Structure 1
């Protein structure tokens, strides 16, 4: 695992415009968990903390399919992916609550976010999330032996084999190259975006019982049967972006589209784009006046960003 360390500030950039922010040469600490190893020498990235309240809000979930504008199937599609993870500053939990995996051979990615509410019971839900993702990667191998990877069955097998205490959201996405589609199963408020020519054409819906109360797998009443399943047609050069709520709650669609368009123009690699997205999500999380999805969902009970673990996976479909 590589660690990237630098010193992006917050209040001093309150008046900076987006163009300047995007090109800032300095970055916060990044932890690359692609290698699935732990880093025991972590630095605190800020002493700032934000308080936020919770509200009850139910979100209905519907199945949707995005049709490809190209009706012909594209053979031999593949994904090239990279990930970035920034744990929230917490000396008691230096690895945070998020976890992810990239299975390049079987063209499958996954993200998970341990539910932080377990901390008041003395339970580190990040351990559950990491075990769930480890078992999801193993389950991907066994699923691939049967044919194409079925993300819901991956979650079912990983769920059965995960025994740590706690609970976690989860999102598994796999590319079916023969059908020119991605197949996904999502539980909770992690999720993904499908981007075509710099524009978001699909955003996975949130599964939650109320504001700040997502569906979750583990020591709770939910199980993989509640997973929202999706299959979306994809085209060459589409971009798949998966993340936990640390990214999704702090990034507006317009911000993501602008960063992606610049990345396309600059021919950035997947991991480089993931860093750009995570960097802006981190900045927004400390901005007390930012107009974020999290603040809007609170209906006036919270202002600004949400300090949280941030995971971003970017996959180019080629």
Structure 2
């Protein structure tokens, strides 16, 4: 939870959100995707077609989410969601019913997330996280209203995208979702950070990050990419905001600054994912309590233990050809797997014949979210937020973790056609 500056108390109707799986019969794929390259373009990295699509391996993306609201017990058997393009069209689209929205929010507190096909195409996906800025609660406004509405609008925009999927950029999706949120009459006020990605089946992923949510890309037991937080000041991140005219006028009269950043202020990065890469998007509930190396250790331990990454004869690491099986529903029961899921995840199999918890990506998301939850409650363990706090305000003697909402989207890249075992 970050801060927002305002000077008055305002009443509003809370926005009631809905969360669920939006199931519609998928349409026939109709796109061809260009390759991604790194070229300078006005301070933003753009897409290019330096390598023909036909020469690139086809990459599919397996995603799962884990989340936990601040002050709530983390349950690894409940606090996760798998996304299967063959079954689901989008995760995070909201109901039009005002009351159903809030009643069906996930256990993510003021955080929110979404995963969606782009234009109903199984091979092009959009995903992201948003963290509602908690300072709005001092004006009687639920910070979750903005973040959940924002993610819901981005999911719906991606799913109903009518142009070719390769034409949708991460910043464009962020902008369209933000504009729809501003026009949403149920959102009186609020703001949030955001980290949004779009992925295509040639392995290209474009990320747009605004604020202190962020992303980490892991490749063969190394940190291959990480985002840098954008902040105006300590604990005051860049944020997309909806500011009512009343609050704006009161801020002008009584002082106080309203932070109203724009989607074009987001940092944009293009990545080309390979077989076995792991991409993590998370809110600051993770990054305030775990540093990059701690997350790397968690990911590496799980990937090696499941056989997703394996050691080589020359003391290196390679990605297993069995990733296809490990990332399918029930994948962690795969015969070559060297660990068992937690009791909580294993217990869910009786309720879900498809074994929704038994996927590699769900295990990664639950592991990171669970460790961040533990660290946030440990008053003896100084995390990144505590160290930054001590640097800015040493007289306060802040120690330990930072309790906050936690959301993790985990993505595993799988090259199609490399499977050597029957799943």
TM-score strictly above 0.5: yes
Alpha-carbon distance between aligned partners in 2 of 1:246 and 1:276, rounded to the nearest angstrom:
14
Unaligned runs of 5+ in 2: 1-17, 23-42, 47-52, 73-104, 243-258, 307-331, 333-359, 415-423
Is 2:372 the counterpart of 1:297?
no
Q: Alignment partner of 2:215: what SS?
A: strand
For the pair shown, the structure with the greater C-alpha radius of gyration is 2
4+ long deviations beyond 3 Å? 33-37, 62-65
Alpha-carbon distance between aligned partners in 1 of 2:170 and 2:159, rounded to the nearest angstrom:
12
1:173 to 191, 194, 197: 197
Q: Would you say the 8 A contact 2:61–2:411 is kept in 1?
A: yes
Q: Equivalent residue for 1:98?
A: 111
Q: Offset at 1:229? A: 1.0
Q: Offset at 1:272? A: 1.1
Q: Would you say the 8 A contact 1:192–1:242 is kept in 2?
A: yes
Q: How does 1:208-227 map to 2 (within 5 A)?
A: 208-219=231-242, 220-227=259-266
Alpha-carbon distance between aligned partners in 1 of 2:108 and 2:280, rounded to the nearest angstrom:
22
Q: Equivalent residue for 2:338?
A: none
Is 2:366 the counterpart of 1:275?
yes
1:192 to 195, 204, 215: 215
Length-normalised TM-score, structure 2? 0.56
Is 2:282 the counterpart of 1:243?
yes
CA shift in 2, pair 1:119/1:263, >3 Å:
same
Count of residues paired in the alignment: 255
What are the Cα deviations for residues 10-60 of structure 1, in whole angstroms up to 9, with x where unaligned? Answer: xxxxxxxxxxxxxxxxxxxxxxx98469xxxxxxxxxxxxxxxxxxxxxxx
Q: Offset at 1:237? A: 0.8
Q: Offset at 1:142? A: 4.0
What are the Cα deviations for residues 145-173 of structure 1, in whole angstroms up to 9, with x where unaligned? Answer: 33313111101111110031200111111
Q: Alignment partner of 2:366: what SS?
A: helix
Q: Offset at 1:291? A: 2.8
Q: Would you say the 8 A contact 2:67–2:108 is kept in 1?
A: no
Length-normalised TM-score, structure 1? 0.74
Q: Equivalent residue for 2:66?
A: 84
Question: What do you get for the CA RMSD once the two structures are aligned?
Answer: 2.7
Segment drifting more, 94-103 vs 207-216:
94-103
What are the Cα deviations for residues 83-110 of structure 1, in whole angstroms up to 9, with x where unaligned? Answer: 01100127xx975100001125332211
Q: Alignment partner of 1:304: what SS?
A: coil
Q: Would you say the 8 A contact 1:34–1:82 is kept in 2?
A: no
CA shift in 2, pair 1:232/1:34, >3 Å:
farther
